[in-house]
Amino acid sequence: MNLAIVGSGYVGLVTSVGLAANGHHVTCVDRDHSRVSLINHGICPLYEPGLDSLLQTLTKEKRSLIAVEDYNEITDSEVIFVCVGTFSESTNKTDFTNIIDAASQIGRVLQRAPDYRLVVIKSTVIPGTTEEIIIPTLEKYSSKKAGREFGVAVNPEFLQEGSAIQYSQSPDRVIIGEHDQKAGDTLERLCHELSSCPVLRTNMRTAEMIKYATNAFLATKISFINEIGNLCKNLGIDVYEVVKGMGCDPRIGDKFLNAGAGFGGSCLPKDLAELVLKAHQMGYEAQLLRSVLKVNDNQALRLVEIAKKRLGSLEHRVIAVLGLAFKPNTDDVRAAPALKVIPQLLEEGASVKVYDPVAMRQAKMILPDGVKFCASASDAINDSDGVLIVTEWDEFKDESLYRGKLVIDGRRTLNPEKARQVCRYYEGVCW
Ligand code: UGA
């Protein structure tokens, strides 16, 4: 099939590559000229393990994936996936500009299309958005009626950065929120080609809510275990042992209960904040979800608090921060815990040395002046008075790196027993 993917961020690129690898001809549409050019040269514009080589094969050898800036080039596309961002980093608020722009451009494409086309919304949008904003825009610019001359479906994405390729090849479920049955049938056929996982068909707002509820639940698990971890620490209990015991209960399980510096990234904090705001606008105070955010706001800063307790004032102290990405295997620093920790250290008067295996370029664009970027973990650790581990990259897991050092671990990166033998002092953020 001829397929178009609008927006070449994480979700858009991974979706494009998955569909192209499955034999479809995929056209990526993005208004960012340099991104389009990189993709057409087979170069991945973001760091995601495995994506680079797949993109290279699909663009250069198989020629089944191309990127364009002009929507006129997708008039032959039978299915158009919308994967544009719905959040403004500068205002820190939901921003529908991209999605409205995409829907109006796609509307113009639909107007010229001689036959039925399907528009699939993969962008994360607050429940009701597809019905209330996207479909009216598509209808306005196409002068056609959804459900008759074109179909619409919502198909939220659940991939995790860092393991996106694996997930896209074997998702645990596919959610289809259909405007009309033909749209649902067409999308289900396409999804079944990719994987045999369970498919749940429902209405559009339910599909939109499934995405938010999933991320809100994941975030709740993390803040829950961080709170338990903070309590455990005061009681001299290892929260990781507690999770082993809790996890044996099949109603609970042990996944996503790694206590530490809290959640970051472009999705969990944003989706939760949007849901809390939506609830507030409807006159409902989402107290539990607010608390989840509140626990998370404080969690990363606990590393600095511990450093202060151990070192006294941080004034003129040299602190090494290991890990800038919000989690390993990505260069994404959006809402990364390190971005809370570093300004606080500077505020306390510390000199800050940082290192991350892949996220240095991204971090340099946003970290305040005065931060020293180091060439390696050992370079950052050398001559430091204290080391804060904020992201659990594999290369930070070697205890011998920290010989004689004071280490505060935000991610259970080190084996506490081994670390205690090697380090001058070792403490976990909540163990
Ligand atoms: C998250 C969801 O996990 C995906 O299912 C979803 O598709 C995606 O958001 C999205 O909405 O697009 P992602 O942001 O890539 O994926 O990252 P996660 O693996 O969920 O990690 C989020 C944060 O939680 C990271 O900072 C991580 O370090 C932290 N975390 C995760 C913990 O602190 N403890 C855990 O047990 C797990």
State the distance from the centre of ligand 1 to the C-alpha of 215, rounded, in angstroms. Answer: 8
Number of folded domains in the chain? 3
- Both 36 and 162 in a single domain? yes
- With a 6 A CB cut-off, is 325 part of the ligand 1 pocket? no
- With a 6 A CB cut-off, is 13 part of the ligand 1 pocket? no
- Both 73 and 184 in a single domain? yes
State the distance from the centre of ligand 1 to the C-alpha of 323, rounded, in angstroms. Answer: 16
In a domain, 205, yes or no: no
Alpha carbon nearest to ligand 1 atom 22, residue: 263
In a domain, 207, yes or no: no
| Structure token pair of residue 322 | 């290991």
Which pLDDT score, from 0 to 100, does residue 297 have? 96
- Both 41 and 138 in a single domain? yes
Last residue of one domain, picked from the residues 297, 323, 355: 297
Which pLDDT score, from 0 to 100, does residue 408 have? 98
- Both 73 and 86 in a single domain? yes
**Residues carrying an active site annotation:** 267
Which pLDDT score, from 0 to 100, does residue 156 have? 98
- Both 267 and 227 in a single domain? yes
- With a 6 A CB cut-off, is 85 part of the ligand 1 pocket? no
State the distance from the centre of ligand 1 to the C-alpha of 337, rounded, in angstroms. Answer: 13
State the distance from the centre of ligand 1 to the C-alpha of 314, rounded, in angstroms. Answer: 31
Top mutation candidate among 166, 293, 327 for ligand 1, by most atoms within 8 Å of CB? 327
- With a 6 A CB cut-off, is 232 part of the ligand 1 pocket? no
- Both 246 and 310 in a single domain? no
Residue 264 CA, closest ligand 1 atom number: 26
Q: What is the DSSP letter of 371?
A: P
Which pLDDT score, from 0 to 100, does residue 88 have? 84
In a domain, 204, yes or no: no
Q: What pTM did the predictor assign?
A: 0.96
Give the DSSP H or E segment for 152: strand 150-154
- Alpha carbon 312 to its chain centroid, in Å, reads 36
Alpha carbon nearest to ligand 1 atom 23, residue: 263
25 touches 11 (CB < 8 A): no
Residue 265 CA, closest ligand 1 atom number: 14
- With a 6 A CB cut-off, is 357 part of the ligand 1 pocket? no
Alpha carbon nearest to ligand 1 atom 24, residue: 263
Residue 327 CA, closest ligand 1 atom number: 28
Of how many residues is the chain composed? 431
pLDDT in tens, the chain (431 residues): 999 999 999 999 999 999 999 999 999 999 999 999 999 999 999 999 999 999 999 998 889 999 999 999 999 999 999 999 998 877 878 899 999 999 999 999 999 999 999 999 999 999 999 999 999 999 999 999 999 999 999 999 999 999 999 998 899 999 999 999 999 999 999 998 888 899 999 999 999 999 999 999 999 999 999 999 999 999 999 999 999 999 999 999 999 999 999 999 999 999 999 999 999 999 999 999 999 999 999 999 999 999 999 999 999 999 999 999 999 999 999 999 999 999 999 999 999 999 999 999 999 999 999 999 999 999 999 999 999 999 999 999 999 999 999 999 999 999 999 999 999 999 999 99
In a domain, 320, yes or no: yes
CATH number, residue 66: 3.40.50.720
> Of 141, 147, 195, 189, nearest to 172 (Cα)?
195
- Both 232 and 175 in a single domain? no
- Both 231 and 326 in a single domain? no
In a domain, 41, yes or no: yes
State the distance from the centre of ligand 1 to the C-alpha of 163, rounded, in angstroms. Answer: 11
- With a 6 A CB cut-off, is 134 part of the ligand 1 pocket? no
State the distance from the centre of ligand 1 to the C-alpha of 251, rounded, in angstroms. Answer: 21
In a domain, 206, yes or no: no
CATH number, residue 232: 1.10.1040.10
State the distance from the centre of ligand 1 to the C-alpha of 120, rounded, in angstroms. Answer: 24
Last residue of one domain, picked from the residues 197, 227, 257: 197
- Both 76 and 94 in a single domain? yes
- Both 371 and 394 in a single domain? yes
- Both 229 and 117 in a single domain? no
- With a 6 A CB cut-off, is 10 part of the ligand 1 pocket? no
Domain boundaries, position 255: 212-297
27, β-bridge pairs: 4, 66
Q: Lay out the sheet containing 79-82: strands in order across.
A: 65-68, 25-29, 2-6, 79-82, 117-121, 150-154, 174-178, 199-202
48 touches 84 (CB < 8 A): no
Residue 219 CA, closest ligand 1 atom number: 24
In a domain, 35, yes or no: yes
354, β-bridge pairs: 321, 373
In a domain, 98, yes or no: yes
- Both 90 and 184 in a single domain? yes
